[in-house]
Chains A and B, each alone.
Chain A
Amino acid sequence: MLLHLTRRFLQAIPTLWLIATLTFFLLHLAPGGPFDDEKSLDPAIKAQVEAHFGFDQPLYQQYFKFMGNLLKGELGPSYKYAGWNVDEIIVQSFPVSLELGGIALLIAMSIGVPIGVTAALRHGKASEAGLMAFAMIGICLPTFVLGPLLLLIFSSYLGWFNTLGWNLPGDRVLPAITLGLFYAGYITRLARTGMLEVLQQDYIRTAKAKGLSSLTVINRHALRTGLYPVISYMGPAIAGLISGSFVVETIFFIPGLGQFFVNSAFNRDYTLVMGTVLFYAVLILLFNLIVDMVQMWINPRTRHD
């Protein structure tokens, strides 16, 4: 177990290095810099600004300086948000995205798992088809269609929620549903398939045959294995929640990290782009590791690989 963990950690290092290097050179070789569109800028001042950020140095020197700072955990100052360091922006805005993603995941699980399990238990009946059709709707409505539609119905017509902002607890409802519904649909499908497979196993029949109530059979014997696909899906789901948050935060004007990332791409705010990308990469690698460990804990067969 410990060996496996160490190996995974060591594998993550070259991955992060490659991502850091690729993003650095991509962005620095790109035509146009972050200060190009400010036409009013006097050439002398522009040169001074660029010198301040080290643009006048040869590229390889900039690269080593960037990597050196990265090892110290410094991501440098943002080019567009004057006076802000990239790490400060991330620390400020990430908790908002984390809360949004967390609630969305909670919604997805608490809708997806019960519906999927119920559908599996009603296999072959009409109610199964109905439940799965519901799941399909969730999958086929992307966030940027669902979000505005929810706003149209629940804010504009019914007036139940605010259209934008992130202040009241009620402001969390629509964005989290928008972000979570796709995953609810997907988890429903995974839970159903997983449960269907388990329910055909001999040990479930044995458990039934020895007279256990069907509730006990499901809770004690079937769920643990049946939900295994759902657990495996958590890694990709978290990566998806991150990219989904770009859209949701834009629709609902939520001051999370996703909005900063999109804006930084707009503004060619190199340091902020790179900082955010690397932060996301670390986050995803970390979550994948956690999901891996949970899997090993649930399913002993994956331990000795």
Chain B
Amino acid sequence: MTKSQREELATEARSLGQDAWTQLKSNRMARLGGFLFLTILLLCIFGPLISGKENAATNLAYGAQPPSLEHWFGTDDLGRDILVRTLNGGRVSIGVGFAATVVALLIGLPYGVIAGYYSGRTDAVMMRFVDALYALPFTIIVVLLTTFLGRSIWLIFLAIGAVEWLTMARIVRGQTRTLRKLTYIEAAKVNGVSNPKIMIRHILPSCMSAVIVYTTLTIPAVILLESILSFLGLGVQPPMGSWGSLINEGAQKLDIYPWQLVFPALFFSLTLFSLNFIGDGLRDALDPRDKK
């Protein structure tokens, strides 16, 4: 083999990550979703700072005004700028989305790996518990948990994370069960590698592509769940507002000030839209059965 031939071969070797990235970039909807989500994210992070308007600055005399040059999205009945409130609401919604997903990962990953790795009775007991909670829709469990935990924002993402891990655990367990029978795990065992080390060094990394896909799909699910809670009044409490509670406020006054409903709803729907497209794109990109 000549040197040039070797170089040619070397360029063809791509890691799973690189491969997935190339595929993801070629997926038009995922690209659009990524661009849209980044835009919304940056707007939410930096927008309120640049606007120079205060989130809670009320101006009762000013009251609710339709969209204008001064207030692009209009103002609510307390004279607060809807654009700033929407962007601030996005911080809460997206923030809770990410934080609760991290909670779900922190519980679900170890739970799933342990249940799947040890199998047998350990697995049966651990998964019976998951199955029992699965009998109820997540919304019901979260409403139940908010009754118990109270309604501060920290507890809400904890409560949501405390449900979303169930699916994560199931997925990771399924992956682990197929992996643990493979010869390289057996080889590691024979070499005297301890069980925890096998789980962390050998099993977890191999579960990653499934975990990444499911994580990107969990974030929009969490944002939706938080918004449902806030819409019902069981979530984020005023004066703090998430997209759910802003939409709720807007829905109550939709006859008089429709802009108060339309703009938060638009941002919210676009975010869900974009995150779902990214998730779908990632799933296609990381699916080994679907390699081009």
Contact = CB atoms under 8 A, between A and B. Distances in A.
Partners in one complex: yes
Given A140-B269, A140-B273, A147 B251 contact: yes
Nearest to B234: A265
Given A15-B132, A140-B272, A247-B231, A277 B140 contact: yes
A265 B228 contact: no
Contact of B258 (A15, A152, A266): A152
Q: Interface range on chain B: under 10, 10 to 19, 20 to 34, or 35 or more?
A: 35 or more
A265 B272 contact: no
Q: Interface range on chain A: under 10, 10 to 19, 20 to 34, or 35 or more?
A: 35 or more
A121 interface: no
A281 B228 contact: no
Contact of B232 (A29, A250, A268): A250
B248 A144 contact: yes
Contact of B247 (A140, A148, A265, A285): A148
A242 interface: yes
Contact of B136 (A29, A145, A281): A281
B147 A273 contact: yes
Interface of A: 14-15, 18-19, 23, 26-27, 29-31, 139-142, 144-145, 147-149, 151-152, 156, 239-240, 242-243, 246-247, 250-251, 261-262, 265-266, 268, 273, 277, 280-281, 284-285
B126 to A, nearest CB: 13
Nearest to B251: A148
B254 A266 contact: no
A145 B263 CA distance: 11
B147 A281 contact: no
14 contacts: A14-B132, A26-B144, A27-B148, A30-B147, A145-B268, A148-B250, A151-B254, A152-B255, A243-B139, A243-B228, A261-B140, A280-B140, A281-B136, A284-B135
B99 interface: no
B261 interface: yes
B147 A268 contact: yes
A142 B128 contact: no
A140 B276 contact: yes
A142 B148 contact: no
